[in-house]
Amino acid sequence: MADKKMIVETLFDAVDGQLAKADIERFIEKPKHTHLGDYAFPCFALAKIFRQSPTNIAKEVSEKMVNSIIEKVEAVGGYVNIFLKQSEISKTVLSNIVTFRSAYGQQEQGENQTITIDFSSPNIAKPFSMGHLRSTVIGNALANISEKNGYEVVRINHIGDWGTQFGKLIVAYHLWGKKELIEQSPVRELLKIYVKFHDEAERDDTLNDQARAAFKRLEQGDDEAMRLWHWFREASLKEFEQVYALLGIRFDSYAGEAFYNDKMNRIVDLLAEKELLEESDGAMVVNLENMPPCLIKKTDGTTLYATRDLAAALYRHETYKSEKSFYVVGNEQSLHFKQLFNVLEKIGYEWARELQHIPFGMMLKDGKKMSTRKGKVVLLAEVLDEAIELAEKNIEDKNPKLQHKEEIAKIVGTGAVIFHDLKNHRLNDIDFSLEEMLNFEGETGPYVQYTYARICSLLRKGQYNDQECKFEGLSEEAWPVIITLKEFPEVVTKAFELADPSQIAKHLIELSRAFNKYYAHTRILEEDATMQAKLTLCSSVAIVLKEGLRLLGIQAPEEM
């Protein structure tokens, strides 16, 4: 925000340029209590420079702090507490929101640049489980946040439609599959025979040999193997699309692993040309410093994930001319991506430095990782259906006369599931709990949505007209709301820089709490000289809540 930059400039002058502006900005804090100011600057880092106590330095610095947006400055201990001019800041913030509306907080740092985001990427012939939720909603939010920061975004669903699991499925289908059952319920039946394969393979290891042979036939283009593969793929994609439609998520590309079958030889040739390819126990590898070698081809000549991901990275860079690339994939793949980026740099691609793995924690069940092969899986579609059902029941109990109940229940139910994931820092593991996820009070999506719906109701009752907005006359109780609104553009930037959607989710909770506290102490619809200003504040909060939810991939219903 412009006011923070002005504070940095003023502090820079006040400390006689003895601290870099970037350091000053990093040191500036937001006090927990409003009576300690709007900004606080700790002077402890200056003690060695000026050879004085932080308390004395704070006193001297506070006396030099003169700025058009500063109301007063206090030296408390080793801190400089800065109070902003509330009326001036309020007018600036509210007029910006009213003017720009949903474009408020739009940044330009990615202007004329493209970013590719690889996310969701479920495996064909396996159900879309709760374990896939994290990559899907984190990736979608990061795509929205990247666009908000000015980037052109290419959303890529790198479908897991190749690999040894297809050898296992082909063998399992021949042994236990029934065509009519698979046609009725493709993914469920395919999962059933896939789990059975692993159970049987624990007792009969020859099944794994048969699976490897079946996959090799598939790689060689065997007609029967290819026919089964196409069938498995199309049936799964149709089922995945239903989940994506419910979550409101779209992709620009569904180019999965199989797409790169004819593009891997180029990578192998490049590695050989650069003399990076070496033989190791019959396999072909690239040796790397301080990490295990990157395996390019196995002893039987079949390819690996690394080969495909190298081909994918090169294809995407050449096709989309992307300046940055995000790979939204779980923590457990961290080594894989370190190897991948390292190999690309060894080839000589400088753009590999702009490839970024966006890791996240696991979705756990009873404290343990969900496993498809063991059948311990919670289907995302079933969780979403249950969330929507519970939302509809709550609406029926609290607002039975509400129109379009089914549509609103869908918005609230799916929003609850998405928000529950995104309010957590992505690196944390999340223990799957339907009860917690669907708690409609506290730090939840429905709480933020209800705050938005409440404001929409106030605006309707107050017959608010945004052409007649006013910015002056607000009470001091409105200041925490204004300050939180003011920070939204900064949060948008921070969420992108940290690749962390929880920055947005936490900000929306903070804004909702600040508004609800204001609402509890203010008669907004009282017809007095300040009513229009109060409604302008309400409208501004609604704009930011709606836009913040949109960035997370959640809709904001005007009634609940």
Q: What is the CATH number of the domain that holds 28?
A: 3.30.1360.70
Instruction: Identify which has the larger pLDDT, 378 or 25.
Output: 25
Q: What is the distance between the alpha carbons of residues 286 and 284, in angstroms, rounded to a whole number? A: 7
Highest mean pLDDT among 70-84, 419-433, 437-451: 70-84
Return the amino acid letter for 125: A
Q: Do 343 and 471 fall within a single domain? A: no
Is the domain of 159 the same as that of 15? Answer: no
Per-residue model confidence as pLDDT tens digits over 514-547: 999 999 999 999 989 999 999 999 999 999 999 9
The residue out of 348, 369, 390 marking a domain boundary is 369
Residue 528 and residue 406 share a domain: yes
Q: Are residues 398 and 431 in the same domain?
A: yes
Residue 181, domain member (yes or no): yes
Q: Are residues 547 and 403 in the same domain?
A: yes
Co-location of 232 and 135 in the same domain: yes
Q: How is the beta sheet containing 70-76 ordered, strand by strand?
A: 39-42, 79-84, 70-76
Question: Is 168 a member of any domain?
Answer: yes
Let me know if residue 220 belongs to a domain. yes
Last residue of a domain, one of 84, 99, 130: 84
Mean local confidence (pLDDT), 247-256? 96
pLDDT of amino acid 373: 53
- Distance CA(251)–CA(246), nearest Å, equals 14
Q: Evaluate whether residue 111 is within a structural domain.
A: no
Quick one: 142 and 173 in the same domain?
A: yes
Check residue 219 and give its pLDDT: 84
Question: In CATH, what number is assigned to the domain containing residue 156?
Answer: 3.40.50.620
Residue 154: pLDDT band with limits 50, 70, 90: very high
Residue-range definition of the domain harbouring residue 538:
380-552
Assess whether pLDDT exceeds 70 at residue 400.
yes
556 against 3, higher pLDDT: 556
Given its phi and psi angles, is residue 298 left (phi above 0), alpha (psi -120 to 50 degrees) or beta?
beta
Asked which of 67, 84, 101 is the last residue of a domain, the reply is 84
pLDDT range class, residue 324, cuts 50, 70, 90: very high
Structural domain includes residue 482: yes
| pLDDT band of 369, cuts 50, 70, 90 | confident
461-498 exposure pattern, b = at least 16 Cβ within 10 A, e = fewer: ebebeeeebbbeebeeebbbbbbbbbbbbebbbebbee
Answer yes or no: do 213 and 362 share one domain: yes
Q: What is the pLDDT of residues 97-106, one digit of tens each?
A: 999 999 999 9
pLDDT tens digits, one per residue of 220-237? 999 999 999 999 998 888
Over 70: is that where the pLDDT of 469 sits?
yes
Torsion of CA 16, 18, 23, 25, to 10 degrees: -10
Residue 302: per-residue pLDDT: 64
pTM for this one? 0.92
CA distance 378 to 503: 28
pLDDT band, residue 1 (cuts 50/70/90): low
> What are 282-316's pLDDT values in tens digits?
899 999 999 999 999 888 766 678 999 999 999 99
Sheet holding 283-286, edge to edge: 277-280, 283-286, 294-297
What pLDDT is attached to residue 368?
A: 77
Question: What average pLDDT is seen over the chain?
Answer: 93
Q: Which of 512, 360, 511 is nearest to 422 (CA)?
A: 360
Average pLDDT over residues 67-71: 91
| Alpha-carbon gap, residue 21 to 290, rounded angstroms | 36
**Phi then psi for 189, rounded to 5 degrees?**
-70, -40
Distance in angstroms (rounded) separating the CA atoms of residues 555 and 141: 13
In a domain, 458, yes or no: yes
Order of strands across the sheet that contains 363-365: 368-369, 363-365, 430-431
Asked if 127 and 238 sit in the same domain, the reply is yes
| Burial (0-12, 13-18, 19+ Cβ within 10 Å), 385 | middle
Residue 442 is predicted with a pLDDT of 83
* Structural domain total, the chain: 3
Residue 428 lies in a domain: yes
Write down the pLDDT at residue 372.
53
- d(CA 331, CA 316) in angstroms, rounded, equals 23
- Starting at the earlier edge strand, list the strands of the sheet with 152-156: 152-156, 114-118, 324-328, 355-358
Instruction: Report the pLDDT value the prediction gives residue 126, as an integer from 0 to 100.
Output: 81
